Structure 1
Amino acid sequence: MPQGRRKLPFSGKQKKQQLQEKRKRKQLNSATRNDLVYEHTEHKKEAYKQETDLDVQCINQQPLQRGGRSNPNQYVLQFRRETDEEIRKRKEEARKEIIPVTEEELEFDPVPFYDGEELGFPVRPKWSPDMTREELDNREYRYFKNYLLSLKQRSDWDQLSYFELNLETWRQMWRVMEMSDILVWIADARYPAIPPYLFTYVLRTLKKSLIIILNKVDLVPSPVALAWKHKLVETYNLDNDHDANVHVLFFTSYIKSSEFKEGIQKKKPRGKLKMAADAAELLMKECKYIVEKYQANIDLKSWEKKIAEEKELEYDNEEDVEVGETITSASETNYEHIDLFQNEFLTIGLLGQPNAGKSSVLNALMGKKVVSVSRTPGHTKHFQTIFLTSTVRLCDCPGLVFPSKLTKPLQVLMGCYPIAQLREPYSTIKFLAERLNLVKILNLQHPEPGENQWSAIDICDSWAIKRGFITARAGRPDTYRAANHLLRMALDGKICLVLKPKNFTSNKNYWYSSDQLKNIWKIKGMTEESNTYEYHYVSESDNEEQKDELTSNKTTSNKDDSDDEELSGSDESDIQGGHVASNKFAVLDVSD
């Protein structure tokens, strides 16, 4: 038997070197493939800009890493970049005197801002199962490009507000709309701007059921929330047929105590994250009715049992957040056709604009934290599917800014645009100050002694002085940082602006005396609610903790950490007029 070659000694050092060389070869091959994808993506993006002739601004864009396995900017927010002339005009307006609006001007009708059926939104183009992934991708790309070009040819193109220009994000919504049996639109109850053309598409084209959830109802007076419900039902119901109607529910992710002491909140809501059982029960009943209407073979008893168990649980005031498993769907364009109720479980798709609280609603329905939540628009990058029970699946879609003519300051307050990325925040402060008495609420002193007229810039300067936001070099009030901080407070509900539906003022007595208010109080965790609202003032000299905070801010004025600070409490002796802090909703009263 022939003898083989004698084995040579092979040291551990040589083995390590061999593995390192093998690893380098694999990385080189991977980098070569990804560089081709990178170059193709960049070329396609540049061609897209040339074909549409749009100056696109990417929000929160991350640096691309060659050789990486994925593109971190695939779902980044994309809006039309504003010109320097538009920014300059808004800055000039912010320096003008603030003139408070009347109570009737606090009423809001979102329908005209969406221009009826003419404006529309990108819907998925027709396709067939025989198409390849590349063919489908190219068809959707051409369709979206033509859609943007058609919008640009409109005479009112310059009047359009921020809206999403990223095709990948719209693709996520198309996927959620396809795979869901029931679609739920989540809106901020403070300003529920809801696109009517979406409802027509869902009810008429997709022939699916639609539910509206007015989220963050704890930030809204119950009579206003009730009036909004009736207004939405009146506006978005297509006909008298109950099967083609939308259904409006109330929701809050935080259950308040029966005292319901609010105002400029000193502390964030604390407590164990639990299911919002009363609100979840309303959603469950509505879904159960729809399932029975279609005679679907889906058993929702497990959902009913979960809600019943949550109602029996008791929670203390200690924070206890349970993190569950998140099932995240990968990016894809090769969709499959899904018929209604074809599975043994019910799929509920959550849609809405950024910061409407979709992820918070999902967590509150689960009774534990399963998806991360952030105030930054676009935090949810791609849709996520989570099983609520064995027969109920929830699908969280990224927030989408739909085409509209909403004023940009209102879009900022709604959370559609990241506050930290604003080039000009002062027009939004002016919009807020025209509807709320910010000078009185924040207990501000004019930065120029003896001056009585206030502008948005004056309010920001005064707040910067009060909070100790001082520029490092010149030692002047940091106006931009103060404006940023005020807008974050408004977004969090610490400064609470609530817009009312049309004709609310003329029918105020009816809404405040309605028997249906008790249903909203139950969801809020209240037994009653006062008809008169007072609010917190922030005194110039608060407690020792705030004084220390001011000193710290002066030495670290360039840091953004304090943008998330909470307001410290005020001594009763420091409050103007001796008012006692009780509720935030008096800020709606502009007569002071």
Structure 2
Amino acid sequence: MQRKKPFSAKQRKAQLQQKRAIKRGDIDPPPPQDRHKKSRRAAVPIADGSSSREAVAESTRRLQSHFVKLPQKFLEDTKQLAAILHLPRPIPADAALLHIDAAAIASASQDLALQRSDSEESQNQAAKLTCPKRPKWRYDMSKKEVEKNEEGLFGKWLDQADEIVNDWCDVSMDSSSPSNSMNSASDVTHEMPRAPTSFERNLEVWRQLWRVTEISQIILILLDSRCPLLHFPPSLSAYLSSPHIANRTRTILVLTKVDITGHTRADEWTRFLKIKFPRLPIVRVEAYADTVNPESGAAAGRRAHQPHIPPKFRQSLVQALREMHDELLQPPDRLKGHPERLAKWKPSVRRNVSWDAVLSAQGGQVGTAVGGATAPRPSHDEPRPGGASGDEDDGSETEPEYLTIGLIGQPNVGKSSLLNALFGIPKVKASRTPGKTKHFQTLFWTPEVRLVDCPGLVMPNLIPMEVQVLSGILPISRVSAIPLCIYHAARLLPLERLFNLTHPSLTEAPVADKRTWREPRVVESGSERKAVGEQKWTAMDILTAYALKKGWVTAKAGRPDVNRAGNFSTSLIFVSLK
């Protein structure tokens, strides 16, 4: 590795003076420099003349998730509010309830009509959201033509989605923002604004979903059993119910992580989902089993998690797949009144599938990569389902070589973990961090059945950003409004007790708070200090106390590093919820 260039304090001072002069406008900024340095290792040439390392890096950059960037004013205002808004203590008993229908549970008061109208308006806005659809294409079209059509349609969809989200949540604050009233001596009555929602804005990631839905005959939608409604938004439901997908595929809802929530909650969620989606079969799965690692140094052995799905869950999943396969072998209802077309009709899936082999498949022979990721290509005079020929599917294409089952869902719902559990051994990478899978992966289950693992996509939904973070949909490293997420979590959980924190005003050696955007903290001494239980906590107090407990301070001013404390504590909250 190349050694760093020596950097003295005098050079650092000159650099800071130059940055301040550029910020004031006294001097012009220097021309931008290329940050991508060439690697010292020799590049391995491949067929197209480029290097394999460059190709891998370019592919990784293309599939990086893109999310909306929050305005700087919104970040500053939420940070200020997190420092002045007192957290409710004790926490109300109904704080963690998910209010599905606000109008139905509202009390009979004068605000009932207003609450009902707001709920209906929010539901109508959410119904307008959908996932981007791939435009029609033909085999005789060039790659540039296909990509140009996709980029044009995706740009229009992005503008429509942004307009709906902006109408639902306006992140711009007016003159009543806390920054204009911070000097008031009275208690602040401001409320934390609604955070905007985030969804995938990279076309390359959506193309992964398009490929998976095109080659799949049965689609498994994986839902986290802790709160399935967050992982099955109306946009995904509308996308899968579109004719070009619904006419040739079958959908199954899969509740994952049942071992975390427990069977009682999983049963209630199953009952609720059957009422809400009566036409979709629902199955439950577990992906891990606790085992003892004999190689650990401890006497009792260290607990480990081995990919495993219990036999009853495997049987229920295979049975649901078998029923969906039988439905695909039946001709559609629209052909029953046309005997000539019905006589020519052929199923668009593989006819013969050994489900006994699927039920008992495990070991090293399963999970191997499939040679081709696309379905068998039909002849030019035959239509392709969902392609350029439209939404009609008369079954005249050739019979596929495999029965393809696609796994789709939002990040961190357990798609890769379920694949490893079905195979019985780790075959694909799985991680607690959302967005581990980048490319869709096509693997054998049996010689007749293949599974396609789609990368997790953050679907459009009218859900606040802090809820997406705490539910594992958004990666913590991609979120800039950390105080807002901590404020939301602290209203549901007593973080100061969970982390065993001491209020910053009660520390033995209080750190001088030199921030100018909040009033200086008055620290009493001796008997004048209040008891810990009588202190009023804010979200910034929790971050400051956690940073002091860990000894994290900023390099320049030596203040508590609240940003590092926010990232670390948010990750701890997420891991504890898992």
1:359 counterpart = 2:397? no
- Change in 2 beyond 3 A, CA 1:430/1:166: same
The normalised TM-score by structure 2 is 0.64
Matched residue, 1:225: 266
- In structure 1, distance between residues paired with 2:262 and 2:485: 23
Name the CA shift for 1:85/1:289 in 2 (closer, same or farther; >3 Å).
same
Matched, 1:443 2:462: no
Residue 473 and residue 114 in structure 1: after superposition, are their counterparts in 2 closer, same or farther (change >3 A)? Answer: farther
The 1:249/1:330 distance shift into structure 2, 3 A limit, reads: closer
1: CA distance between counterparts of 2:67 and 2:561? 27
* Post-superposition offset of 1:465: 3.3
Q: Which secondary structure does the structure 1 equivalent of 2:451 belong to?
A: strand
Change over 3 Å in CA distance of 1:268–1:123 after alignment to 2: farther
| Superposed CA offset, 1:381-439 (max 9, x none) | 11101111222211000111111210100111122322123222121111111112223
Name the CA shift for 1:81/1:361 in 2 (closer, same or farther; >3 Å): same
1:132 deviation in Å? 2.3
Task: State how far apart, in whole Å, the 1-side matches of 2:433 and 2:57 are.
Answer: 25
Query: Which sits farther off after the overlay, 453-462 or 216-225?
Result: 216-225
Cα separation, partners in 2 of 1:297 and 1:120, compared to 1, 3 Å: same
Change (3 A) 1:115 1:128: same
Kindly tell me: are residues 486 and 108 of structure 1, through their superposed partners in 2, closer, same or farther at Cα, counting changes over 3 Å? farther
- Say whether the 8 Å CA contact 2:367–2:444 is kept in structure 1: no
Task: From 251, 261, 282, give the equivalent of 2:316.
Answer: 282
**Of residues 294, 298, 307 in structure 1, which corresponds to 2:353?**
298
Q: Which residue of 1 aligns with 2:211?
A: 175
Aligned-residue RMSD, C-alpha: 3.7
Deviation at 1:133, TM superposition (A): 2.1
CA distance in 2, matches of 1:388, 1:323: 5
Give 1:340-489 correspondences, 5 Å limit.
Answer: 342-449=399-506, 450=530, 452-472=535-555, 474-489=557-572
Q: Which amino acid aligns with 1:461?
A: T
Residue 137 to residue 213, structure 1, CA distance change in 2 (3 Å)? same
1:57-96 map, 5 Å: 70-95=58-83, 96=85
1:164-204 deviation per Cα after TM superposition (whole angstroms, max 9, x unaligned): 11111111101101111111111222222111242244245
Note the C-alpha offset of 1:342. Answer: 3.5
- Are positions 1:490 and 2:573 aligned together? yes
**Alpha carbons of structure 1 residues 465 and 84: separation in structure 2 relative to 1, 3 Å:** same
Alpha-carbon distance change, 113 to 374 in structure 1, aligned in 2, over 3 angstroms: farther
Q: Is it true that 1:139 corresponds to 2:149 in the alignment? A: yes
Are the structure 2 counterparts of residues 447 and 186 from structure 1 closer, same or farther at C-alpha, using a change threshold of 3 Å? Answer: same
| Bigger mean CA offset, 287-296 vs 171-180 | 287-296
In the other structure, the counterpart of 2:233 is 195
* Distance of 1:235 and 1:297 partners within structure 2: 33
What is the CA–CA distance in structure 2 between the aligned matches of 1:97 and 1:322, rounded to whole Å? 58
Would you say the 8 A contact 1:382–1:397 is kept in 2?
yes
Kindly indicate whether residue 94 of structure 2 is the aligned counterpart of residue 103 of structure 1: yes
Q: Are 1:337 and 2:384 an aligned pair? A: yes
Q: Is the 8 A contact 1:185 1:211 kept in 2?
A: yes
Alpha-carbon distance between aligned partners in 2 of 1:284 and 1:370, rounded to the nearest angstrom:
20
Tell me, in whole angstroms, the C-alpha distance in 2 between the residues paired with 1:323 and 1:465. 51
1:430-481 CA deviation, whole Å, 9 max, x = no partner? 1111112223333322222236111112222223333444445555433222
CA-to-partner distance for each residue in 1:44-77, whole Å, 9 max, x for gaps?
xxxxxxxxxxxxxxxxxxxx98788844311110
Q: Which residue number in structure 2 is paired with residue 534 of structure 1? A: none
2:388 alignment counterpart: none
TM-score by structure 1 length? Answer: 0.62
Confirm or deny: 8 A CA contact 1:30 1:67 kept in the other structure.
no
SS at match of 1:385: strand
Contact 1:178 1:337 in 2 (8 A): no
Cα drift, residue 113 of structure 1: 6.6
Q: 1:196 to 1:404 in 2, by over 3 A?
A: closer
Alpha carbons 2:95, 2:491 under 8 Å: kept: no
Residue 358 of structure 1 aligns to which amino acid in structure 2? K
Q: In the alignment, is residue 150 of structure 1 matched against residue 197 of structure 2?
A: no
The amino acid of 1:184's aligned partner reads: L
Say how many residue pairs are matched. 413
Distance in 1, Cα, partners of 2:486 & 2:61: 30
Q: Percent identity?
A: 31
What are the ranges of 5 or more consecutive residues in structure 1 without an aligned counterpart? 1-22, 35-63, 238-244, 258-266, 311-320, 497-592
Match of 1:537 in 2: none
Q: Higher relative contact order by CA 8 Å / sep ≥ 6: 1 or 2?
A: 1
Aligned to 1:130: 140
Mark the CA change 1:325 to 1:289 in structure 2 (over 3 Å): closer, same or farther: closer
**Is 2:41 the partner of 1:30?**
no
Q: Which moved more, 1:186-195 or 1:112-121?
A: 112-121
CA distance 1:189–1:275, shift in 2 (3 Å):
closer
Alpha-carbon distance between aligned partners in 1 of 2:371 and 2:100, rounded to the nearest angstrom: 37
- The one-letter code sitting in structure 2 at the alignment partner of 1:425 is I
Distance 2:258 2:547 in 1: 31
